[in-house]
Amino acid sequence: MNKFLTLSVILLTTIPLSHAQLKGALKSAKEKTEKAVESVPSTSGSSSNSSGTKPAGSINGEPAYDPESPTYRAYSIVRDEINSTKNILGDDHWNKNVEGRNEDATRYLAKAKENLTKLQNDPVESKKPYVKNLAASWDEVEATRKQKFEVYTLNKEYSEKLDQYHRFATSGWEISDKSLEPSYTGYHKFKSEFETKRPDYVKDGYVQKRFADIDNYFNVEVYKVVPELNAQVDAVIKRIHEKNSDGEESYLLNAKSYQKEFEQPLADILYNKQYLLENKTDINAVQAKLEKEKAVLDEYVSSGKCDAHRAKYHQKMVDAVRLAPKKMSNPKYEGMALAGVEKGKATRAVITSDIWLVKKNEWGLPLYKYLPVDIAVTIDGKCWLAYGQIRKDYEGGGQYGGEYFNYWGSQEEMNCANTMK
């Protein structure tokens, strides 16, 4: 400013002017000097100037430092809370505890918004540029917070779904999320969606390791079930065709039980084909082998041939049942046996030993003597071979007590025509 005045004086003294002209020139120079001074912006601060007055606000109209001023307090709170939020949105802070940092950021911005509203509602302050700048800054920071938290939320959502597939593949846990299908098709669909919608997060090492484990399950591990199922099917087929004591294949009598034995392997084959095995070549071969054998059983059972053969075999077994040969005649003991039958009508009793047999305990001491007895019993029109014993309990000193009958119950069905044979 002093240089400007000095230059003006020099210029005026070097030009011959009239008194009036000189007076006008000095006035013009003074006005220009005052405008130049006014155009220089003052800076806000916490200290007063040399004259003791408070400094004026900045070019954007921010209020000067004055802790007693509600306007300055509102301005400083907005400014500080926005800056604090920017700080915690930095990756170094944000990534350490996203949910906690988001809560802090939300709280800081809410406090900033509350005080920004006060400034916006002030008829004087609301027109100043700094208020609009603060509002724009608040919007920008809030948008950043929302965007970062949305990324975190979506990444977390996909990570949790990935973990469910990982536990399913590595530990056999059930997938509880009903939006996820526990199958190779469901997994491939999820993986494709993950790669499309979370292209940055999918590159994370943790995510890639989990994908590698699940890929190994669906590409390698699931196919280990095929030889296991094949062995199960082969075992059933082998039993089906084994020969019994009569030289007949086992299925002729047991077709219905073998039908049931095929149920679980077939169910496992169908489940693995639908959910786990993308390549079905080998499992289809196992299924074809099972269904070929099962078709034979199904036709044999549905035609009635199985029931007819079983009835014939059963009758053969019934016809073969006889009371054992009589080894001792004793009307008293035979009468005790006939009277001791608990159910049905006893028609004949045969003592099947010619001597008393001794039952001993584990130390070789006698418990009782007995005579085995076969009994023919009729129950509801059918005849049965029953069994019992005439007993004498050991009383010590080489002495046994009196006889009594111990009934064991019916054992096998027999032909009524053979009860006297």
How do residues 255-310 score in pLDDT, each as one tens digit? Answer: 999 999 999 999 999 999 999 999 999 999 999 999 999 999 999 999 999 999 99
Band (pLDDT 50/70/90 cuts) for residue 403 is: very high
Rounded to the nearest angstrom, the gap between the alpha carbon of residue 83 and the centroid of all alpha carbons in its chain is 43
Which neighbouring-strand residues pair with 390?
371, 405
Cα distances (angstroms) measured from residue 394 to each of 18, 365, 366? 166, 9, 6
pLDDT, position 104: 96
What average pLDDT does this structure show over 208-214?
97
Q: pLDDT tens digits for 143-153?
A: 999 999 999 99
Kindly state the average pLDDT of the residues 170-188: 96
The proportion of the chain whose per-residue pLDDT surpasses 70, expressed as a percent, equals: 86
Distance between CA 218 and CA 224 in Å, rounded? Answer: 11
pLDDT in tens, 51-100: 333 444 578 999 999 999 999 999 999 999 999 999 999 999 999 999 99
Q: What average pLDDT does range 378-398 have in this prediction?
A: 95
Measuring CA to CA, which residue among 148, 275, 147, 301 is closest to residue 222? 275
- Residue-level pLDDT at 119: 95
- 24 pLDDT more than 50: no
| Statement: residue 22 has pLDDT above 70 | no
What does the pLDDT look like over 304-355, one tens digit per residue? Answer: 999 999 999 998 889 899 999 999 999 999 999 999 999 999 999 999 999 9
What pLDDT is stored for residue 186 in this prediction?
97
Q: What average pLDDT does this structure show over 35-40? A: 34
For residue 221, give the nearest of 180, 166, 177 by alpha carbon: 166
Q: Is residue 379 within a helix (H) or strand (E), and if so which, with residue range?
A: strand 366-379
Please give the Cα distance from 2 to 256 (Å, whole number): 120
pTM of the entire predicted model: 0.67
| Angstrom distance (rounded) from CA 95 to CA 112 | 23
Question: Please, is 22 exposed, middle or buried when counting C-beta atoms within 10 Å of its C-beta (0-12, 13-18, 19+)?
Answer: middle
DSSP 65: S
Q: Rounded to whole angstroms, what are the CA distances from 49 to 37, 52, 72, 321, 399?
A: 16, 5, 19, 129, 133
Sort residue 175 into left (φ over 0), alpha (ψ -120 to 50) or beta.
beta
What is the arithmetic mean of pLDDT over 385-405?
Answer: 95
Angstrom distances, CA of residue 215 to CA of 157, 158, 204: 20, 17, 16
pLDDT value of residue 35:
37
CA distances from 418 to 74, 215, 319, 347 (A): 114, 70, 8, 12
Model confidence at 29, pLDDT cuts 50, 70, 90, reads very low
- Longest CA pairwise span in the chain (Å): 177
Q: Give the dihedral of Cα atoms 24, 27, 29, 31; nearest 10 deg.
A: -140
Q: How far apart are CA 203 and CA 359, in angstroms?
A: 80
Q: Which residues on adjacent β-strands are paired with residue 391?
A: 370, 404
Question: What is the DSSP code (8-state) at residue 338?
Answer: H
Under the banding of pLDDT at 50, 70 and 90, the label for residue 36 is: very low
Looking at this protein, which amino acid is placed at residue 398?
Answer: G
* Mean pLDDT estimate for the chain: 87
Q: Which two tokens stand for residue 414?
A: 């027999």
Alpha-carbon dihedral angle through residues 299, 305, 309, 312, given to the nearest 10 degrees: 160
* 356 SS3 class: coil
DSSP state of 241: T
Higher local confidence (pLDDT), 201 or 1: 201
Residue 333 burial (C-beta neighbours within 10 Å; 0-12, 13-18, 19+): middle
**pLDDT tens digits for range 232-247:** 999 999 999 999 988 9
Dist CA 188 CA 218 (whole Å)? 10
| Residue range 373-389: mean pLDDT, rounded | 95
Phi and psi at residue 390, in whole multiples of 5°?
A: -90, 125
Report yes or no: 49 and 101 within 8 Å, Cβ to Cβ: no
Instruction: Give the ranges where 327-406 is alpha helix by DSSP (H).
Output: 331-340
Instruction: Output the pLDDT for position 21.
Output: 39
